[in-house]
Chains A and B, each alone.
Chain A
Amino acid sequence: MAFSLTEYAKGNVLAVQEYSILSWRALANLFSQPRYLGDILQQMDTIGVGSLPIVVLTGFFTGAVLALQSANSLARFGALSFTGQLVSMSMVRELGPVLTSLMVAGRNASGMASELGSMQVTEQIDAMRALGTDPSRKLVTPRLTATMFMLFFLTILSDLVGLAGGSVIALLLLRLDLNEYWTSAWQTLRYADIFMGLIKPVLFGYIIATVGCYYGLSAKGGTQGVGRATTQAVVAASVLILAVDLFVTRLLMVLLGPL
């Protein structure tokens, strides 16, 4: 069949429309019965507890390398004692939320897409609808709630472990005083920084769950289609996280005032 630009554009507009409806319904479901508490808790365990090891490892090494790199530059200006401050600001405002979200996207957006995709291609989603249960309520909303809630706490943990990673480098390689490192790291943070750092994971959690579920539910063409949906979900979620991060950062800077 010949490639048609109109058909291609129509297809994309339709995809955006379907994604918007799905993500809106998943959110709206929170405000009406029935709610699936058991499914929410199960997803919290899978997404939150299951992601602990990678989030801790990513946070630790990011904080450590951040301390190492920033110390290199700061030493040139004789400002090595600012290392704690720099690690703290970068981790809390930016790297903590973004890297945690990217890791969770890699792990869970793919998981959601493959699980829901398999259910879609084996007619289990249709079976669920036929049994009188709304898949957006039973499958999407619990994943959305769990991701938004758990990513918030995973980010706090990642920030803390990142600072700890930085402190290990500060102590062992830079020979800085630990007390000074933690004091400067703590004192530099304003409420605006913490607000910015904690609003992002909630938004990114929304992106991860809705994108993962959307690609899963729109999977077509057997196991190959499920594989394709999984890859697309991770790519789309990661790119969206980075793009939204830029706009949200700018917006919050305007709203909360510059550094």
Chain B
Amino acid sequence: MSEANGAAKAVVFEDVSLRFDEQVVLDGLSFELEHGATKVLLGVAGSGKTTILKLTLGLLRPDSGRIVVLGQEVTAMRETELFELRRRIGIVFQESALFDSQSVEGNVAFRLLEEKVPQQEIDRRVSEALRFVELAHTLKLFPAELSGGMRRRVAIARAIISNPEVLLYDSPTAGLDPVTSTTIVELLVKQRDVYQTSALLVTHRLQDAFTMATHYFSRETNKMVPVPHGWDWDSKTSFLVLKDGKKLFEGDAAEIANSDSEYIREYLTL
């Protein structure tokens, strides 16, 4: 594969395999994520979804295969070289992974402080990011004082503050009530439609994935609304189903809904 091909895609996995001790986590996985598109990673627990996100960032190394992110071959880079690339990618961890000894403000501003951005601009961008996730009032609170859903939203604010080109979401709605989940899905849709950020989304909640594929963000109402029938609308949201470390299915919402695969039909009806 040429470098130019890699640069044309946001993320490329090429025959990636990884095992932990005896357990095969990924077995020759290949997929591509277009710029501005969202790929939803589905699969049962332990099917390697989170591992894919960590591999994308170079937090883990595969045993074999190539991973190219924003035109740079992550698998050929050293840890010290990866820090620069990681600043162009945002991630929301499943358990939020906020720095618990720092306030919400410190967490969200972390990346800007590291980049020595002037304080006035930091203040402006932090309040903007917190307004985006509707948590402007939590500036001085600490992560332990927030609910699970609020922590998740602070993690989203921390990930988007530097306008990343790729966003990685690890089960952002897991364990949350339906109302909070919808709020978070709405944020993801807003990020996709307003900022056209490429994203990999790991989720167990199929309804969230379908909501993403069938809704768009209306700037007029500042809300997520269903795509009306007859609209020629490309949600740029596709699905990737993993089973035993392999790709079982890849396609859009209509294709997964009409899939013949027994495993997928069972998964969809669970």
Contacts and interface: CB of A to CB of B under 8 A. Distances in A.
Contact of A123 (B84, B86, B97): B97
A132 B159 CA distance: 11
B99 interface: yes
Contact of B99 (A124, A130, A132, A134): A124
B47 to A, nearest CB: 19
A132 B95 contact: no
Contact of A129 (B59, B84, B98, B100): B59
B114 A130 contact: no
Contacts of A132: 83-84, 86-87, 111, 114
B93 A127 contact: yes
A3 to B, nearest CB: 15
A9 interface: no
Contacts of A134: 79-80, 83
Interface in B87-134: 87, 89, 91, 93, 95, 97-100, 110-111, 114
A123 B79 CA distance: 17
Contact of B97 (A34, A126, A133): A126
A202 to B, nearest CB: 27
A133 B93 contact: no
A73 interface: no
B9 interface: no
Contacts of A118: 100
Contact of B111 (A122, A123, A131): A131
B212 interface: no
A130 B114 CA distance: 13
Interface string B48-64: 00000010010100000
A123 B95 contact: yes
A131 B95 contact: no
B57 A131 contact: no
B67 to A, nearest CB: 15
Interface residues of A, number: 15
A123 B93 contact: yes
A122 B151 CA distance: 13
A129 B93 contact: no
Contacts of A123: 93, 95, 97
Contact of B83 (A119, A122, A133): A133
B93 A131 contact: no
A140 B14 CA distance: 35
A129 B86 contact: yes
B108 to A, nearest CB: 11
A119 B91 CA distance: 17
Contact of B91 (A34, A124, A130, A133): A130
A128 B91 CA distance: 11
B111 A127 contact: no
Given A123-B93, A124-B100, A130 B110 contact: no
Contacts of A131: 86-87, 110-111, 114, 158
A126 B53 CA distance: 12
Interface centre among A119, A128, A130, A133 (most CB of B within 10 A): A130
Among A34, A118, A124, A132, chain B packs the most CB atoms within 10 A around the CB of A132
Contacts of A128: 99
B12 to A, nearest CB: 19
A133 B100 contact: no
A118 B57 CA distance: 22
Contacts of A129: 57, 59, 83, 86
Nearest to A34: B114
Interface in A103-152: 118-119, 122-124, 126-134
B202 to A, nearest CB: 14
Nearest to B111: A131
Question: Which 10 pairs from chain A and chain B are nearest by CB?
Answer: A132-B87, A127-B97, A123-B97, A132-B86, A132-B83, A130-B91, A131-B111, A123-B93, A130-B57, A124-B97
Given A122-B95, A126-B97, A130-B89, 11 more contacts: A34-B114, A124-B97, A124-B98, A126-B54, A126-B93, A127-B91, A129-B57, A130-B59, A130-B93, A132-B114, A133-B110
28 contacts: A34-B114, A123-B93, A123-B95, A124-B98, A124-B99, A124-B100, A126-B59, A126-B93, A127-B91, A127-B93, A128-B99, A129-B59, A130-B57, A130-B59, A130-B86, A130-B93, A131-B86, A131-B110, A131-B158, A132-B83, A132-B84, A132-B86, A132-B87, A132-B111, A132-B114, A133-B110, A133-B114, A134-B83
Interface of A: 34, 118-119, 122-124, 126-134
Interface of B: 54, 57, 59, 79-80, 83-84, 86-87, 89, 91, 93, 95, 97-100, 110-111, 114, 158
